């Protein structure tokens, strides 16, 4: 009796791979799908609003994920905390006194320091007798450029810490430049030499300058800068001074820096009403002629800044702190520029 032969099923036959020869096995293996690709990415639960309450109210069964604004906020934080190869030096300029240049330096420096894992320092490069950056960061800081340059035993971060102050709330260090009767004039060489020492210990350096762009220290500042912050205010003179600075920077040949310049318009008046909003909109439009509109920021009036004490970003109004985060993230976007870190 002959054995019964099974009838092959109808339809296309699966490929017969020759595992010892040819490319069939390699092609199959190259197309293997990992288990992680089969699983949908887990949504990050929302931390505020109705999304948060829905998540916890359903015992974590319904997870709508973060809101668009939460995602944006997380991306801003990640940009500020992003990888930086080498050092990044930012110079803060203001054509007039009283526009908020020093508070901008302290606030942006604090935002960098609070979010990054490396070290950040603010440098008082204002040659005027009224320089007061340390007062807004750490009033106990008394050392200056001379102390740093005279110390031949700076081998680690703990050594440089003996010459700088620190804002405990954010972890921002500061090198002051308080007026003293025997204080040496601040020159481009002194600034450059000190900057070279500090960049051994700090990844981000933000320098507060004076108002005189013809001062001898300015070439040193601009020569070490990777990005600029032009500070204006809603006061007429404050806006005019910043506009003149933009013209000066262009005519002086700092085109590279203008590509990584942000304009900060401080609302020092804290006014409201249609006329004031029109003024602010007009300033934004005018400064957008030099830089892209995405690089022009209006910082609202904040009583904590107006108090003239130590800047603590945790005490700022939410809107003010968010604006400084946006400015800082825009500056940090230059970290990966081919002409960026030094």
Is 104 in the same domain as 139? yes
The model carries a pTM of 0.81
To the nearest whole percent, how much of the chain has pLDDT over 70?
78
Give the pLDDT band of residue 88 (cuts 50, 70, 90).
very high
DSSP 12: P
Boundary of a domain, candidates 19, 53, 80: 80
Is 236 in the same domain as 323? yes
Q: What is the mean pLDDT of residues 242-260?
A: 89
Is 62 in the same domain as 125? no
Which residue, 239, 309, 307, is CA-closest to 267?
A: 239
pLDDT at 339: 46
Is 141 in the same domain as 223? yes
Is 216 in the same domain as 258? yes
Give a yes or no: residue 238 inside a domain.
yes
Regarding predicted confidence, which is higher, 199 or 11? 199
Give a yes or no: residue 103 inside a domain.
yes
To the nearest 10°, report the CA torsion of 245, 246, 250, 254.
80
Give a yes or no: residue 14 inside a domain.
no
Q: What is the mean pLDDT of residues 26-46?
A: 59
Give the pLDDT band of residue 55 (cuts 50, 70, 90).
low
In this model, does residue 284 exceed pLDDT 70?
yes
In this model, does residue 14 exceed pLDDT 60?
no
Three-state DSSP at 161 gives: helix
Locate 75 and state its tokens: 């991306």
pLDDT at 131: 80
In this model, does residue 180 exceed pLDDT 70?
no
To the nearest whole percent, how much of the chain has pLDDT over 90?
55
Residue 234 near residue 98 (C-beta atoms within 8 A): no
Q: What is the mean pLDDT of residues 254-276?
A: 87
pLDDT at 340: 44
Residue 97 near residue 90 (C-beta atoms within 8 A): no
In this model, does residue 7 exceed pLDDT 80?
no
Is 110 in the same domain as 197? yes
Is 104 in the same domain as 204? yes
In this model, does residue 274 exceed pLDDT 80?
yes
Boundary of a domain, candidates 80, 104, 123: 80
CB-based burial label for 5 (10 Å; 0-12, 13-18, 19+): exposed
Is 266 in the same domain as 124? yes
Residue-wise pLDDT for 95-147, tens only, equals: 788 899 999 999 999 999 999 999 999 999 998 877 889 999 999 998 889 99
Residue-wise pLDDT for 292-332, tens only, equals: 999 999 999 999 999 889 999 999 999 999 999 999 999 99
Geometric angle at alpha carbon 97, from 257 and 221, rounded to 5° = 30
Is 117 in the same domain as 216? yes
Range of the domain at 90: 85-332
Phi then psi for residue 166, to 5 deg, are -150, 140
Helix segments in the chain, DSSP class H: 24-30, 35-38, 49-57, 68-80, 101-115, 133-137, 145-150, 157-160, 188-198, 218-224, 236-251, 255-258, 274-287, 303-306, 318-332
- Total domains in the chain come to 2
Give a yes or no: residue 193 inside a domain.
yes
Is 194 in the same domain as 230? yes
- Give me the CATH number covering residue 283: 3.40.50.300
Which residue, 153, 212, 215, is CA-closest to 186?
A: 215
Is 91 in the same domain as 147? yes
Q: Whole-number mean pLDDT of the chain?
A: 84
Residue 199 near residue 191 (C-beta atoms within 8 A): no
Boundary of a domain, candidates 80, 100, 130: 80
């Amino acid at each position: 009796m002959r054995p019964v032969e099974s009838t092959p099923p109808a339809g296309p036959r699966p490929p017969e791979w020759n595992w010892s020869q040819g490319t069939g096995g390699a092609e199959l293996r190259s197309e293997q799908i990992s288990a992680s690709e089969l699983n949908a990415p887990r949504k990050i639960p929302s931390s505020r609003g109705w999304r948060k309450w829905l998540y916890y109210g359903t015992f974590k069964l319904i997870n709508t994920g973060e809101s668009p604004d939460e995602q944006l906020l997380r991306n801003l934080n990640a940009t500020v905390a992003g990888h930086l190869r080498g050092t990044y030096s930012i110079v803060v300029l203001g054509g007039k006194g009283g526009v908020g240049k020093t508070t901008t330096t302290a606030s942006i420096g604090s935002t960098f320091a609070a979010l990054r894992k490396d070290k950040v320092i603010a440098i008082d490069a204002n040659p005027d007798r009224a320089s007061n950056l340390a007062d807004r960061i750490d009033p106990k800081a008394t050392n200056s450029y001379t102390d740093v340059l005279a110390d031949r035993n700076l081998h680690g971060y703990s050594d440089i810490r003996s010459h700088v102050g620190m804002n405990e709330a954010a972890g921002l260090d500061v090198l002051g430049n308080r007026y003293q009767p025997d204080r040496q004039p601040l020159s481009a060489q002194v600034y450059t030499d000190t900057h070279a020492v500090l960049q051994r210990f700090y990844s981000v350096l933000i320098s507060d300058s004076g108002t005189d762009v013809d001062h001898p220290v300015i070439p040193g500042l601009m020569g070490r800068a990777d990005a600029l912050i032009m500070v204006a205010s809603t006061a007429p003179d404050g806006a005019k001074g910043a506009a003149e600075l933009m013209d000066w920077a262009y005519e002086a040949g700092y085109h590279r820096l203008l590509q990584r310049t942000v304009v900060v318009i401080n609302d020092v008046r804290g006014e409201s009403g249609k006329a004031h909003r029109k003024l602010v909109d007009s300033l934004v439009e005018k400064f957008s002629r030099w830089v892209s509109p995405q690089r022009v920021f209006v910082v609202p009036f904040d009583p904590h800044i107006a108090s003239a004490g130590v800047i603590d970003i945790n005490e700022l109004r939410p809107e003010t702190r968010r604006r400084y985060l946006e400015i800082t993230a825009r500056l940090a976007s230059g970290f990966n520029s081919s002409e960026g870190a030094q």
